[in-house]
Chain A
Amino acid sequence: MATLALRGLHKRFTGTVALDAIDVEVGSGEFFTLLGPSGCGKTTLLRTVAGFVRQDAGEVWIDGACVDPLSPDRRDTAMVFQDYAIFPHMTVGENVGFGLRTRGVARAEIARRVREALATVRLSGYESRMPHALSGGQQQRVGLARAMVVRPKVLLMDEPLSNLDAKLRVELREDIRDIQRSLGITTLYVTHDQEEALVVSDRICIMQGGRIEQVGAAWDVYKAPATRFVAGFVGSTNFIEHLPPAELETAVPDGQPLLRAVTAGSGGEALVAVRPEDVRLLPAQARPADMVVVRAVLEKVTFTGREALYLARVAGGPTLTVSEARPTREGLVEVGASVGLGLPLGALLYFDRATGARIGLG
């Protein structure tokens, strides 16, 4: 068990800044996930920790020691590769035992630990199989066993599930989470699948363009996104530029920040955002007190099984997405219907138009 600290990491490739002022502290035994769109620098960060990429500035500390002078083989980080990287000329057992052999562990001990590791990933009895006779999911589990069997200080995983089908992905991510927790290995995990990140992580680090946007627990990044980017990237969000005053119900007190923001449009200080599941679909005449209500017409209804998604157009204004959990057949509203969209005051998020940072309004 070890801590991992990244201090002021910078990395520049010709033409791109891949890492920009990265400061991160990962606690001992923590499951820490890097989440971000393609090209944001996740892999670069992971490989910098492993020692395969050399940073231009900054330091990597593992277990209280700076590992920058150490080559990849000395860092005691074990990596699970996106493309599995199972040695095709070795049996499953030899693959899993590889790191133990290079560490000079005794034969009998290797055999025992390999057996244990394979049991942990539910591949008992596969020792003498060749990799080509394994499915993708099994190969990835071999990769996981091979990495964790050496009991590394830090376990690194670069999109380990991205080559697998949806069902297997869900199954294996639970396995990874359980195994990591039971062994208590400090883990740095990379994914661009937000659901995966929310499910497995203790904390998530959202990255964009080589910079960190926010670090926090799943709840925080979803419910309290630090920036406009995070709000848009994790889950889906309605950003409201502007609402025509004519369509607003005036039951709301004057000087309410929402009204200030939406009526000022792009000239105002703040951008308003609201999650689809927070928007309430109301009968045309309803006027609940704690909401701003805006009149709209339903343009499209999609039923996904778990929820109903409505697209509602505000005349002269934006189109908002509304999600209704556990819809009933009778409750589904028809396309073309006039409705009121309730925007609960407590659920609204405000972002600085210039910096994208979240702000509170009077």
Chain B
Amino acid sequence: MTVPRVARLDLWRGVLLLAFAVVGLLLVYPLYNIFAASFLDNETGALTLANYRRVLGHPYYQTAIVNSLVIGLGGMVAAVALGVPLAYCVARHKVRGRAVITTLAILSLVSPPFIGAYAWITMLGSNGWLRGFLSDLGLELPSIYGPLGILLVFGLKFYPFVFLLTVGALNLVNASLEEAAENLGATGWRKLRMVTLPLVLPAVSAGALLAFVLSLADFGTPSILGRGYRVLSTTAYNLYTSEIGGNPGLASTASIVLIAISLVAVAAQKRLVARREYASALTRRPAVRSLEGVRSWVVHGLCYLIVGVSSLPSVVVVYNSFRNTSGPVFKPGLGLDSYRKVISDVPDAIVNSFAFSSAAVVLVVGLGTLIGYVLARRPGIAAGALDALLMIPYVVPGVVLGLGFVVSFNGPPIELVGTGAIIVLVIFIRRLPYSVRSSVSILRQIRASLEEAAINLGASPSRAFVKVTLPLMLPGVLAGAMMAFVTAINELSSSIILYVGGTVTMPVRIYLAVLDGEFGTAAALSTVLLVTTGVAVAIVLRVSESREGSFV
């Protein structure tokens, strides 16, 4: 034991208690209510399995389940198909502009997915300029609406997870292993299949899992691009908000099914990598190959094509925001009309977004750092349990948690529905685990003996933390805060359920604008979001040492 067990006010025990209270109230309680509601009859309140019979048995819901699986798996496959080759090109070749490629990939990762959906509509929708252009070339594309469009957006949105994780893993493969394979007669594709890919499988599958779970949980994209292609997240949302009598029981059941699918995916990935995580003995850094001739063209072409296409939506959105519009139709000429309109019509969306996100970030970083400290430095049964509970948000879609909040906080003892606080809290609890995890990994790199030295010299444990460890953690914490801010300000799927007129946020406003065909407003607001996001990312890149590590 490094710290004397004195019964002075123990900061860390206090943190643990607070953490359990917060997690219990904002995570367990709402989810319990959803879980309970899925077994209750809406009218009588009696215990029943009718909701499950309905969701699992009725073709209407079965379609939604199948569609969810299709876009979940499809999004995952697309992300892997883009991310792994890109990672291999970047990690094993002298590619020009590696930092540019990484930065563009990161930017497409953090930009809100519904912006991608919207931008692709303006490019490939029925009047889209890209569709027109390709059509002139004799290439008729299928409709952007429906599963293909959704998969396009998901693939381009989530491949950076696979890319960043796989690059990290490829850089840790000991060079001798690949050389041994070559020396024994396996080169090219064979070496890749027999040696390199199996070694990075844990990382690839972790990225694939993220892509699957996020594709499954995403609300904005299928709801903008779906046009009758129902998935579970949109179905749950519609069941709850439906004008003609919402059905909380069915909505809850659909939510539980959604969570169950995510859990199965998590378990499947765990099983896949079990006993396949190899301690890497990096005695020699992997070889990086110079590129010449055709090969150079192919590799560079592939890299820049992928990051280029995935950055296209952002460029298009910014450009659109300066075009003159009339409703959904773009008019000739450029100007600031859209921005004027945004400022006169929806200033509160901008103000709300910044206010809510900042508040959420303060909470996330404050509690996340403290909890991270407890998990990293004071392990124990309680800390372990807390760690496990903090896994929940990874598999609970935003729509579901939003529903849980509505059900839980719409009346005494806690009445929050309609306030800004409820949006702040839902963003806070969804982001908290990421912040905790990043604090833990930051702390793993700061030796505990530093703090022990301070205590040994007479500082109290909390003073030692504040004076020694905290300053060392600061760059990492700042990077984490910026990332939290990025996710907070782009949050749609929970706030779409929790907002009321006065608490509308930018993402919600963009979503509504796209649905109403106010493309100019959507583009101008999206540009504000993109610029904010870009600034935050730039700060992260500046302050953090492991550049890519901060984003996954």
Binding site for B on A (CB under 8 A): 50, 52, 71-74, 77-79, 81-85, 87-89, 98-99, 102-103, 130, 132, 146-147, 150
Contact = CB atoms under 8 A, between A and B. Distances in A.
Nearest to B177: A85
Interface in B171-220: 174, 176-177, 179-187, 190, 194-195, 198-199, 201
B284 interface: yes
Most buried by B among A52, A78, A87: A87
A89 B278 contact: yes
B186 A79 contact: no
Interface string B243-286: 00000000000000000000000000000000110110101100
Given A87-B195, A102-B190, A81 B176 contact: yes
Given A52-B183, A81-B179, 5 more contacts: A79-B179, A98-B181, A98-B194, A150-B184, A150-B185
A53 to B, nearest CB: 11
B429 to A, nearest CB: 38
6 contacts: A50-B179, A79-B179, A81-B176, A81-B180, A87-B177, A132-B278
Contacts of B201: 89
Contacts of A99: 184-185
Contacts of B275: 130
Contacts of A71: 182, 187
Interface of B: 174, 176-177, 179-187, 190, 194-195, 198-199, 201, 275-276, 278-279, 281, 283-284
B278 A78 contact: no
Contacts of B199: 87-89
Nearest to A85: B176
Given A83-B284, A88-B199, A102 B179 contact: no
A85 B201 CA distance: 18
Contacts of B198: 89
A81 B174 CA distance: 12
A93 B186 CA distance: 17
Contacts of B179: 50, 52, 72, 79, 81, 85
Contacts of B278: 88-89, 132
B187 A83 contact: no
Contacts, number: 73
A87 B187 CA distance: 15
A52 B275 CA distance: 32
B502 to A, nearest CB: 56
Given A102-B185, A132-B279, A85 B190 contact: no
B281 A72 contact: no
Given A83-B284, A88-B199, A73 B185 contact: yes
B281 to A, nearest CB: 7
Given A89-B198, A89-B278, A73 B186 contact: yes
Contact of A73 (B187, B195, B283): B187
A147 to B, nearest CB: 8
Contacts of A147: 184
Contacts of B177: 85, 87-88
Given A89-B276, A132-B279, A72 B182 contact: yes
Contact of A103 (B182, B185, B283): B185
Name the residue in B180, B182, B275 with the highest tally of chain A Cβ atoms < 10 Å from its Cβ. Answer: B180
A73 B184 CA distance: 6
B175 to A, nearest CB: 9
Among B177, B180, B183, B279, max chain A CB count under 10 A is at B183
Contact of A85 (B174, B194, B279): B174
A98 B184 contact: yes
A176 to B, nearest CB: 18
Contacts of A85: 174, 176-177, 179-180
A59 B185 CA distance: 21
A103 B183 CA distance: 12
Nearest to B176: A85
Contact of A98 (B174, B186, B283, B284): B186
Nearest to B197: A89
A88 B182 CA distance: 16
A102 B311 CA distance: 41
Contacts of A82: 176, 283
A195 to B, nearest CB: 24
A84 B181 CA distance: 12
A325 to B, nearest CB: 40
Nearest to A156: B183
Pairs of residues from A and B, 8 with the lowest C-beta to C-beta distance, nearest first: A102-B185, A85-B176, A99-B184, A88-B278, A85-B180, A83-B283, A89-B198, A81-B176
Contacts of B183: 50, 52, 72-73, 77-79
B374 to A, nearest CB: 31
A84 B177 CA distance: 9
Nearest to A71: B187
B174 A102 contact: no
B210 to A, nearest CB: 22
Among A50, A88, A132, the most chain B Cβ lie within 10 Å of the Cβ of A88
Nearest to B284: A83
Nearest to A52: B179
A85 B174 CA distance: 8
A223 B425 CA distance: 83
Contacts of A130: 275
Nearest to B184: A99
Contacts of B279: 88, 132
A81 B278 CA distance: 19
A267 B176 CA distance: 51
B281 A83 contact: yes
A132 to B, nearest CB: 7
Contacts of B283: 82-83
Contact of A102 (B176, B186, B276, B284): B186
A85 B199 CA distance: 13
A146 B177 CA distance: 13
